[in-house]
Structure formats: C-alpha cells, structure tokens
Amino acid sequence: MTTQEILEQIKAAKAATDTVILAHTYQPPEIVDAADITGDSFKLSAAVADLPNKRVVMCGVDFMAETVKILSPDKQVILASPDATCPMATQIDPMRVRAFKQANPNTAVCCYINTTAALKAECDICVTSSSAVKIVSALKEQEILFIPDQNLGRFVAENCPDKTVTVWDGYCPVHNQLTPEDILAIKAEHPHTPVAIHPECKPEVVALCDMAGSTADIIRFAKAQSGNVIIATERGVSEYLNLHEAGDKQYIQVCPHTLTCPDMKMTSLADLLAAVKGEGGKEMKLDETTRLNAKKAIDKMLAYGG
C-alpha cells in the first residue's frame, strides 16, 4: 500500500473502533502527522482522560501507555509498537524505593513521569520536566529523593537551593551522551544562535546553553525566537519544528545520530494501522492496587499545579 492508502485505512479504522491516536513529539514525522493529539508524555495522558473515545492507541513507549491507563482505567489502551520501551523508566527497582522510605520516613520521594507504574506506586509525588522545580520547591519536606534521572535531579537541586536533593544512578541513555564539546562545536558553527536543551542532559552541558526545559518548553522557546535556534534534545523536536513551525527560521539539531531514541522511532504506519484495527500492538493492563497507588503520586502532582 502507498502511504496515502495506509493513512486512509487508519482514518477509517479509527472511526470504526472509536479510537483516538496519541503521538509523542519524538515519534517519526509521519506518525506525528497521523495522530489526533501530539505532545510530551503527560500532556497526552491528561488530554485523553476526558475524551469519550473507548480506545486509545499510544505511539510512544510503554510507560506512556501505562500513564494513560492510570488516568483512564475504563479505556482500552494499546501501545502501537509493543517492543518500544524507555530504559530509564526501569532503572530503579521499586523495592529499593520501598526500603529507602522505611529507612528515611521524613524524605519525600519524587519520581519523574518517565517511570513505570510500579515505581510511581512506591513514590510520594510525580513530576514532569516542566514542573519538577516548581513542585520540589513547594514541598514541605526539606529532604528529597529524586528518581530516576540524576541529571534532571541535579538540575532541580541547583534551582531549589533550599532543599537537600539526593539522586541515584538513573539517566536517559540518549540525552546523557551529549558532551560539552558537542555544544561548543555547534555554537562555533552557529555563533550568536541560542541553544535550547533538555535537563536530562548532564549539568556541565546544560550550563553552556541558553535555556533548559521540557519538550514543550523547548518548542515554546524556539517558536518565540526571531531567528534560528539550536535544539539539544531528541531529534524529533527539531524535525517537528522544521516541518511545522520553521517559516524563515531554521531549527538546528545537535548531534542528530547521538540524540536519536531508537525506541521512539520503532513505530511505523503499518504498526499504527494494525493497532487501530485491533490486529497488533500491546494492550496495557495494570493491577488495580498498583494503578491506584501510582495515581496518588500523579494526583499529588496535579494538586501542586504540575
């Protein structure tokens, strides 16, 4: 089939199965264009909760589909590419957190949204990369354990100097590869061009850039600039901006080969069609106790305006 024929079949299958399609910005451009809602992970999960559709197909990775299921337990949630996972989401053993909480009852355990439902269920509060500083700053506890991403945790610690933030050994394998030399080299190629970076990168790399924020923050910053912008996050963001927002501007990608998440690029239009038709993908199912405990961490985040 041609691409157009596949897209027409996806559209017909959506209507027949009462399905809404979600796609993270890091997904391939053709998947982003085929989706009903696009954005970063928590935005997608929250956006679908009030929709009437009975089925959701998530084009992303497994923890994102889990988060949809946490917030929309009555919907059937399908991960379009069944093997797409997030290495960082599973780097911390939930039982390690349970033991830490027992030994440190006065420490608030704060987990990044990029975690499994089982890990969220052991934590006190969840955050996104855009809300992490705001929420940690507002917590009544002085002592904070931030998991799993040590780089985002250090970014939070730097911006919440009145808190004592402990980090463990987790990280994003993609963002963690970026080096100061990578940033200095591209700045030399494009002098006077602002650099927008994701705080999942190492602190010494973030320090060389003009702004640091979530996917949505980076997109807002980049669109607001009058000229070109260097993008230092997964290359799906610069692809999205250049396809949809460029105009007379150029969004310059740092290290496109390094900053490519293979799991985020797994989903094909054929995978999406099969998932929408009910012939492929992976249905997300959660134990109700785990779901409710994970939801408590998300609800607390929302209560803090996250």
Q: In this predicted structure, what is the pLDDT of residue 192? A: 95
User: Is a pLDDT exceeding 80 seen at residue 306?
Assistant: no
User: Is a pLDDT exceeding 80 seen at residue 246?
Assistant: no
Q: In this predicted structure, what is the pLDDT of residue 19? A: 98
Q: In which band, very low, low, confident or very high, does the pLDDT at 241 lie, cut at 50, 70 and 90?
A: very high
Q: In this predicted structure, what is the pLDDT of residue 29? A: 94
Task: Report the percentage of the chain scoring pLDDT > 70.
Answer: 100
Long-range contacts: 167-173, Cβ < 8 Å, 24+?
Answer: 168/92, 169/91, 170/88, 170/91, 170/92, 171/88, 171/91, 171/200, 172/87, 172/88, 172/114, 172/200, 173/87, 173/88
Structure tokens at 40: 């970063």
Q: In this predicted structure, what is the pLDDT of residue 222? A: 96
Q: In which band, very low, low, confident or very high, does the pLDDT at 282 lie, cut at 50, 70 and 90?
A: very high
Q: In this predicted structure, what is the pLDDT of residue 128? A: 96
Structure tokens at 287: 């134990």
Altogether, the residues listed in the chain come to a count of: 306
Residue of 275 and 50 predicted with greater confidence: 275
User: Is a pLDDT exceeding 90 seen at residue 212?
Assistant: yes
pLDDT (average), residues 172-187? 98
pLDDT for 12-26, tens place per residue? 999 999 999 999 999
pLDDT for 58-111, tens place per residue? 999 999 999 999 999 999 999 999 999 999 999 999 999 999 999 999 999 999
Q: In this predicted structure, what is the pLDDT of residue 24? A: 96
Domains and CATH numbers, the chain: 3-85+264-286 (3.40.50.10800), 88-171+289-303 (3.40.50.10800), 175-253 (3.40.50.10800)
Q: In this predicted structure, what is the pLDDT of residue 1? A: 81
User: Is a pLDDT exceeding 90 seen at residue 217?
Assistant: yes
Number of other CB atoms surrounding residue 12 within 10 Å = 13
Q: In which band, very low, low, confident or very high, does the pLDDT at 41 lie, cut at 50, 70 and 90?
A: confident
User: Is a pLDDT exceeding 80 seen at residue 141?
Assistant: yes
Long-range contacts: 132-140, Cβ < 8 Å, 24+?
Answer: 132/156, 133/159, 133/160, 134/304, 134/305, 134/306, 135/110, 135/301, 135/304, 135/305, 135/306, 136/110, 136/160, 136/163, 136/165, 137/162, 137/163, 138/304, 139/108, 139/110, 139/163, 139/304
pTM > 0.85: yes
Work out the mean pLDDT of the chain and round it to a whole number: 96
